[in-house]
Amino acid sequence: MSSRRDLLTLLSVSGNLAMLSGMSLVGPLRPLPLRPSRLLAFVAAAYNGVGYAVGMVASIARSKATAVEWGFPDDLNTFLVLTGTKTMNSLYGA
């Protein structure tokens, strides 16, 4: 189980790094030798989208594994509660 959790943690970190690189391209950062362009904006949006998706899925999977370890049932209801909570926290900016 720990190897799965390590993989999920690695996916979460890689998703956050993808979002960081995407956000760095939006401006772009002053040290980067890039000029703003439409293609750069599309690439930044793609990095942000993929990073967010990977981070969200890995985060929900880690929280579900922890909930099951703590004795909650491994069923659809547990998954729906965790998914709804995570989504609402993301949408409301918590």
The pLDDT score that the predictor gives to residue 5 is 77
Q: Mean pLDDT throughout 69-89?
A: 89
Tell me the per-residue pLDDT of 18-46, one tens digit each, with 9 for 90 and over: 988 888 888 777 787 888 888 988 999 99
Please check the confidence at residue 1 and state whether its pLDDT lies above 80.
Answer: no
Mean pLDDT of 73-81: 91
- How big is the CA angle at 79 (ends 19 and 70), to the nearest 5 degrees? 100
Identify the band that residue 94 occupies on the pLDDT scale cut at 50, 70 and 90. low
* Range of the structural domain that residue 32 is part of: 2-91
> What's the domain count of the chain?
1
Say how far apart CA 59 and CA 52 lie, in whole Å. 10
